[in-house]
Amino acid sequence: MEPTKIGRYEVEKELAQGGMGIIFLARDPYIQRQVVIKVLMYSRTLDVVYRDYFQQEAEVIAALEHPCIVPIYDFGWYGEQPYIVMRHMGGGSLADRLQKEELKQTQIAHIFKRLAEALDAAHARNIIHRDVKPSNFLFDSTGDIFLSDFGIAKSRTVKDDDGTWLVGTPAYMSPEQVLGNPVDGRSDVYALGIVLFRLLSGQLPFSNDSVTALINAHVDMPIPDIRSVKSKVPSVWQEVVAKAMAKDPNDRYPTAGDFARDVTEVVSGKWYLRKL
């Protein structure tokens, strides 16, 4: 049964359920504002690992306090279930928006600038997001975008077809994530490269019903040419995507900010001047 109150917060409705938590829209009666509450599923409370991951997300975001990261307002316990209270992002996710419209390149440049600032701030504290994807990019009511969901900044796992545990979302995992090697901020840059490919072409670079085949593609398969998916995309974008998604982290952009700078320069035309 859906709760009517969580702590002092008055629950208005359930918004979604994920692998670890249930998301509610609620109201804070003290200051009369809407908030979002993420509650760890009761079935997960029996495992201390999940409880630790959940509290870790709150601690990570609270420590970052960045204007491009969805802020945490509160943390508490609903019986045996921990919960996180966050700012309500009334504009939905980038994934939601992509189902309705194709973004202009100027919009893409603005989005990448903000996301890069958030990621670089996290990387400066040795925090790797590990799950960079459109559903974790949220818009506020004014249209600005924010990075969310640091629940696996240390660890979170999914299983491949053989039952092996992996960290991240298979469609956006870097080769080093797939191989279980140490990761740094360039792993998030790789995932951001996949996001750019998706925004420009309307498709993911790699897709497969088999999780094992999908993750192996990140390691073994060459990066598809965006123009083979959408012929009208200028060739310059393939250079940018290819650098972001290089198999070897040393061949990628060193920071998300460097990546976002090139995105902005392509959109503004400065890229071509630099190449002259």
Query: pTM for the complete prediction?
Result: 0.88
Low-confidence ranges of the chain (pLDDT < 50): 154-165
Quick check: 105 and 94 in contact, CB under 8 A?
no
Domains and CATH numbers, the chain: 5-87 (3.30.200.20), 94-271 (1.10.510.10)
Alpha carbons 35 and 86: distance in angstroms, whole number: 6
Task: State pLDDT tens for residues 229-275.
Answer: 998 999 999 999 999 999 999 999 999 999 999 999 999 988 766 66
Enzyme catalytic residues: 131
Name residue 199's amino acid: L
* Whole-number Cα distances in Å, 96 to 32, 88, 102, 135, 142: 27, 16, 11, 7, 16
Residue with tokens 């290819």: 242
- pLDDT of 267 reads 95
